[in-house]
Amino acid sequence: MSDTNIRDRNGDSAVERVDVLVVGMGFAGMYNLYCARQRGLTARAFEAGSDVGGTWYWNRYPGCRVDVDSVQYCYNFSDELTNEWRWSERFASQPELLRYCNYVADKFDLRRDAKFDTRVISALFDEETNLWTVRTDKGDVVSAPYCIMATGSLSTPYKPPYPGIEDFGGEWHHTGTWPHEEVSFTGKRVGIIGTGSTGIQAIPVIAREAAHLTVFQRTPQYTTPARNRPMTSGEQEAFNARRDQWRKEVKQTFNAITDFSPPTKFFHENTPEERRTYLESRWEIGGMPQALMETYKNIGVDEAANSVVADFVRDKIREIVKDSEVAERLCPPSDLPIGSKRPPIDTDYYETFNRDNVTLVDIKTSPIERITAVGIKTADEDYELDAIIFATGFDAMTGSLLAIDIRTSGGASLKDAWSDGPDAYLGLMVAGLPNLFLINGPGSPSVKANMVIAIEHHTDWIMEALDHLREHGLDRIEANEQAQSNWVEHAREVAEATLMPVADSWYVGANVPGKKRVYMPYFGGFARYLKTCEEIVADGYRGFQLSRTGENADTSIVAAQ
Ligand code: NA7
């Protein structure tokens, strides 16, 4: 494979030629770059941010931290790295996670092949030359036979288009593009819109600093205490000592997270008193969202089982929040199953509503009408504010991919392919777009799993596919339309057998007006997904077409199903 400068097909601009293009330099992009290099492949990565980190580069809002145990939310590919790094807290904060990303980039000299402050705007596949050509907003033109979209699942912020934002005299920020300079709320009247995982992390921290915080809530969430704490002495060493075993165990789990005693009973096997005691013990342990979601079998599929846990959280809210009206406003509605929106974990979220300087506004019954010069106007009231924070989430899973004009010379495009929903085979490839790989794409466990473990799996799968192609003198891999449809149908059936698609969540794209409603992550479990991927490879890449194109698209199909 080569690394030469060539001219593009029009012959009018010099293009750089590498083996692998990588879009994004978060956890996924960095690992892809590392793996490509390990194989002696030349690679070029582009990143819109000024440095590495992806999610942890952009989301700098107060209170931002991971909700998977730090020791599990990190790379596994290098024992040296594992042994060198120490986490300071059970759930690492954003600054610590960003330090980790920088440490990895330095250690493996990853920035050398990456260009920052550069956004990829298009990717065109030439059917004749078998090359993807990527163009950027800085004028770069780079070609490679393989293109890997490491663009992140939650990286295109969504901000509701309220009229009047340009009139607002104060400052405003979206949590997903938080300024790098310190933002001070001291003495300020702050309004925050959104009570998803982000709002729930930010609200208690901002409330402690601001003169007053007004929380604009559309849908109340179920959240459980994170019980974050400093790592204890020897804790990480003990985890690392059994990391090899853990790497095996994590592959057998539903969400690529271990150390949670899995449910052994159905809820009706316990008396109401036993349930209360059991759920209470899980509430006390706190931690990952599974604390409550994995208490009884079939919480995710059975309404009665689900409502037992949902009611438990509502009771907790009523216990914690002193003002009973505010408590009722914080209680999620009975038609919202617990877990159907991404379950957050928190530090002092409900307690924050006992503070004198915090007001909760229900914008479901009294929607925001506009932003004014001095604040926010709802249907019922005007709120004067010095700062507005949009914790309103992301155009998840598809937003960053569809923002790039991805097409082939044969006339296929990602936009057309996804006009009726984001179909992808295993969430890895899209039929009609050869040699284009998605990391954690729709139809893969992705956001329903520990993202770093899912990233490592996808990357390893892709790299092994590239090895396979090379070893067999091939240069093209493409998902079959039929295999893709079968997979999409399977993923749909799995999700629809549960309560998960019920909520208007970002999992189904309901937060972005006009987005096709599809449950995007694969909800069949990480272990089952891994096994399927392995079987497909063992079966000669079942459902993929592997071929040799050479310069003249002389397609000799080697494996096709
Ligand atoms: P989420 O979970 O999508 O939450 C966004 C919040 O913003 C949620 O409370 C929404 O209310 C609210 N929202 C969104 N659009 C509007 C409009 N138009 N009007 C009023 N309120 C709105 O995003 P997060 O950033 O909190 O979390 C994203 C993921 O990042 C998280 O799940 C983790 O995986 C990490 P709604 O519930 O839609 O009524």
For the stretch 251-284, pLDDT in tens is: 999 999 987 777 888 988 999 999 999 999 999 9
Cβ-based neighbour number of residue 474 at 10 Å: 18
Ligand 1 atom closest to Cα of 175? 25
Asked whether residue 556 carries a pLDDT value surpassing 90, the answer given is no
Q: Indicate whether residue 392 lines ligand 1 (CB < 6 A).
A: yes
Q: Indicate whether residue 218 lines ligand 1 (CB < 6 A).
A: yes
Asked whether residue 12 carries a pLDDT value surpassing 60, the answer given is no
Q: 155 by DSSP, 3-state: which? A: coil
Domain boundaries, the chain: 4-52+110-156+396-547
The pLDDT, as a whole number, for residue 551 is: 53
CA atoms of 401 and 122, how far apart (whole Å): 10
Q: What percent of the chain has pLDDT over 90?
A: 90
CA atoms of 94 and 370, how far apart (whole Å): 32
Q: How far is the CA of 215 from the centre of ligand 1 (A)?
A: 13
Q: Write the DSSP assignment of 30-62 as a string of letters.
A: HHHHHHHHHTT--EEEE-SSSSS-THHHH---T
Q: 380 by DSSP, 3-state: which? A: coil
Residue nearest atom 38 of ligand 1, based on CA coordinates: 511
Q: Indicate whether residue 196 lines ligand 1 (CB < 6 A).
A: yes
For the stretch 341-394, pLDDT in tens is: 999 999 999 999 999 999 999 999 999 999 999 999 999 999 999 999 999 999
Q: Indicate whether residue 192 lines ligand 1 (CB < 6 A).
A: no
CA atoms of 219 and 194, how far apart (whole Å): 8
Ligand 1 atom closest to Cα of 505? 38
Asked whether residue 561 carries a pLDDT value surpassing 50, the answer given is no
For the stretch 472-488, pLDDT in tens is: 999 999 999 999 999 99
Q: How far is the CA of 505 from the centre of ligand 1 (A)?
A: 8
The single-letter code of the amino acid at 542 is: R
Q: Write the DSSP assignment of 174-232 as a string of letters.
A: EGGG--SS----BT-EEEEE--SHHHHHHHHHHHHHBSEEEEEESS----EE----BPP
Domain 4-52+110-156+396-547 falls under CATH 2.60.40.1220: no
Q: Residue 269 gets which letter from DSSP? A: G
C-alpha torsion sign, points 142, 147, 152, 155: positive
Q: How far is the CA of 512 from the centre of ligand 1 (A)?
A: 10
Ligand 1 atom closest to Cα of 176? 25
For the stretch 193-205, pLDDT in tens is: 999 999 999 999 9
Q: What is the pTM of this model?
A: 0.95
CA atoms of 25 and 118, how far apart (whole Å): 11
Both structure tokens of 519: 């449950």
β-strand pairing of 5-7 with 14-17: antiparallel
Q: How far is the CA of 52 from the centre of ligand 1 (A)?
A: 25
Task: List for the chain the helix, strand, coil content (%; round to 5).
Answer: 35, 20, 45
The pLDDT, as a whole number, for residue 5 is: 47
Residue nearest atom 15 of ligand 1, based on CA coordinates: 392
Do 72 and 257 contact (CB within 8 A), yes or no? Answer: yes
